[in-house]
Amino acid sequence: MNKYLSLLLLFGFIQIPLFAQQKILKEAIERAEREDFSGVILVAEDDKILFEEAMGMRTYENRALLHEYDIFELASLSKQFTAMMIMMCKEKGLLGFDDQLSKYIETPYPGISIRNLLTHTSGLPDYQAIMDEHWDKNKVAGNPDILEYLREYAPVKSFDPGDKYEYSNTGYVLLASVVEKVTGEDFVDLMREWIFRPLGMKNTAIRSLEEKASVKDFAAGHLKDENGNYVNANTFHSSDYTIWLGNRKGPGRVSSNAEDLYKWDQALYTDKLVSKETMEEAYTAFKLNDGTRSYYGFGWEIKPQSPFGKMVMHTGSNPGYSTIIVRYLEENKTIIILNNNAHPDMMRLVEAATLSLGKW
């Protein structure tokens, strides 16, 4: 993901005449359409959507066209919502960022704080590898199963907490489990009550496979088959984990559309969910044990300097899906792209959208 930040910086500092900025985005979109990009792009500034367009297919099998309001699997963009749940628990006095994980969850890995989990500095091993090796894939696993297998098999940690940054889905499984422990509530229900409903995010939820199938506006993820045709990603064996790990909570599984994500983006400038002081902590890079910065906060990658000042962002990837949200905090500029055919043009559109964010 760091290479994407470098691309944004490179493109953002090129001086482009204002009259050419919209043309750059238009040409990038036209190229993407010619090359079969399927997705939705939204560009906004100062609480106003400047550009929104859908292209491609909701489902290739029946040639159903994609629309701006269609719902996508967000994959790891979900982590920013999990981090917010922890921040809300902290403001409610239910936990502290520097509390030890062992205060809430029993694991064979001592010395890990809630802050380590939020910032991917825990050193925890990958839960999916352990589950893939030992789990009966005729059953659907959830967080309690993942925690049980981590305790039973206790794979070796990658490093001591705080020594370095290493992206960890395991850490975000544990964060969701901590939320359930301190609230006594189901994480899925609580996220709906604490975040989605208050912000009017009517199209956003953590959905089961059955619930996704019942949503007519759900954009299926697609991959190319051996003949070069786009087919539903669930037909590939490599996608099976989304089924047998289908009850996991925390690292992914939120589904939403572009306009709901924009509501979320705008709410983060307010104190509707947590205080601005807590949000500032979320946008602060973690200091590692050796004094260097990891540049990941609470569910956000952080770049202190960019073409438009401080930038935070996150990407997501699931079979057939690529997603990204880029937020220029100092100028309230936002780029959201949701893609459902794992297309290589994704970042080219981000670059073009960044270039377009001048005067419209």
Domains and CATH numbers, the chain: 2-356 (3.40.710.10)
**Predicted structure pTM score:** 0.92
CA distance 190 to 195: 8
CA distance 147 to 145: 5
Q: What is the pLDDT of residues 308-348, one digit of tens each?
A: 889 999 999 999 999 999 999 999 999 999 999 999 888 88
Residue 129: what are its φ and ψ, rounded to 5°?
-65, -40
Reference 191, options 264, 124, 241; nearest CA is 264
Say how many residues make up the chain: 360
Per-residue DSSP letter, 184: -
7 pLDDT above the threshold of 60: no
Give percent of the chain with pLDDT exceeding 90: 79
Predicted confidence at residue 5, as pLDDT, reads 43
pLDDT band at residue 21 under the 50/70/90 scheme = low
Provide the terminal-to-terminal Cα distance of the chain, rounded to the nearest Å: 29
From the number of C-beta atoms within 10 Å of its C-beta (0-12, 13-18, 19+), residue 253 rates as buried
Predicted confidence at residue 9, as pLDDT, reads 44
Predicted confidence at residue 20, as pLDDT, reads 61
Q: How far is CA 191 from the centre of its chain?
A: 15
Give percent of the chain with pLDDT exceeding 70: 93
Q: What is the pLDDT of residues 267-313, one digit of tens each?
A: 999 999 999 999 999 999 999 999 999 999 999 999 988 878 899 99
Contacts of 219 (CB under 8 A, 6+ apart): 38, 58, 59, 66, 70, 71, 72, 338, 340
Six-digit token string for 166: 């290493």
Contact 306, 9 (CB under 8 A): yes
Q: How far is CA 347 from CA 140, 324, 325, in A?
A: 34, 9, 11
CA distance 161 to 146: 20
CA distance 28 to 348: 7
| 125-130: average pLDDT | 94
Q: What is the pLDDT of residues 39-76, one digit of tens each?
A: 999 999 998 999 999 999 999 999 999 999 999 999 99
CA dihedral for 325, 327, 332, 335, sign (positive or negative): negative
Q: How far is CA 306 from CA 293, 309, 326, in A?
A: 17, 5, 11
10 pLDDT above the threshold of 50: no
Per the prediction, the chain carries an average pLDDT of 91
pLDDT band at residue 360 under the 50/70/90 scheme = very low
Helices within the chain (DSSP H only): 2-12, 18-34, 79-91, 114-118, 127-134, 143-153, 169-183, 187-191, 209-213, 241-244, 258-267, 276-282, 346-356
Six-digit token string for 341: 């055919």
76 is catalytic: yes
Q: Which of 76, 177, 256, 356 is catalytic?
A: 76
